[in-house]
Amino acid sequence: MSTAGVPPGERIAFWEAYNADALVGLRCSSLSETGLDASLANYMLDGMRLADISGNTHQIERSPALVRSCPKNSIFACQVVEGRAYFIQHERCEIVDAGETIVYDTRRPYIFGFPTGMRQFLIDLPADDFRLRFGVDPARLPLKLAARAGREMLLGRTLRHRLDAFVHHPTHAATAPLALHATVLLESMLRCEMRGSAGSTPALSYLLSAKQLIAERLADPALRPQAVADALGLSLRHLNRLFATDGQSLDEYIWSKRASLALADLLDPALRGVAIGEIAFRWGFSSHAHFSRAIRERYGASPSALRAQKRDGGGAAD
């Protein structure tokens, strides 16, 4: 979609109406004498959406009134590819340069401005399971993921290249692998920002490869740490040392991801009729007892209690 074929005086209203229907309710303004010149392409991935947005100088605002009248239950991760931006939310202002990413909650008012020509990739993530998938409380947002040297720069650049390659040649077969890889990269970027980075760039490459492999095979009950190490051609001891830089062992990482994704299914209203045992086996747990123990240890209650809590409107445990 592009504003190019719309009369200049009607472009703002057109852009606002299209975004309200396709992305998020917002108000837009532009200081360009030629009018707003913007385009947006939307892609449905597996468990997320991707938008490729380009434009000249403009500002968007999601006011408290719009948050109420046009609700959007999403977390956005926006990577600035070209230009520079400023972002204001929750009494914080961030300058976001090309190569950097801002992660924010659409359920709170914000202003996002672009003083020059711009392009950004926007990843639209469900807010309900954001904490489970990425280990970050939405209350801590917004977070700017800076493009510092080393690990952070490699992560951001890898994400940009993956997204750019997809939008240039989008295929249905590529949507699920891209969603998995984007999740792994965003998780690593958030971890670097919140906990600091450690280790060398080659070590990070092995970590990303391991996490990508785990994401692809997480539902396979035969997936074990040794299988991951063998697939990468590394010793299990060395791979565990790499995962230790993230604060956990390889085995802990595998089971924490299984538990978080299983809990997301458990709390999904669309899967309310699916038996707890079926969800457990779907994510590689060997028995109902094993699943119950893992969920209780991680989330403080049994799977049935957490599902009932969600059904009764109490939300998920932290």
pLDDT, residue 150, reads: 74
Residue 227, C-beta contacts closer than 8 angstroms, at least 6 positions apart: none
Please work out, in degrees rounded to the nearest 5, the angle formed at the alpha carbon of residue 63 by the alpha carbons of 95 and 159: 40
CATH topology of domain 209-311: Arc Repressor Mutant, subunit A (1.10.10)
Residue with tokens 């468990």: 47
Reported as a single tens digit per residue, the pLDDT across 181-230 is 999 999 999 988 887 765 567 788 899 999 999 988 988 988 999 999 99
Q: Could you tell me the pTM of the whole model?
A: 0.84
* Distance (Å) of CA 50 to CA 100, 113, 127, 158, 188: 17, 20, 15, 16, 19
Domain ranges of the chain: 8-197, 209-311
Reported as a single tens digit per residue, the pLDDT across 291-308 is 999 999 999 999 999 999
Low-confidence ranges of the chain (pLDDT < 50): 317-318
Q: Kindly report the CATH class assigned to 8-197.
A: mainly beta
pLDDT, residue 81, reads: 98
Please, what sign has the CA dihedral across residues 258, 264, 266, 268?
A: negative
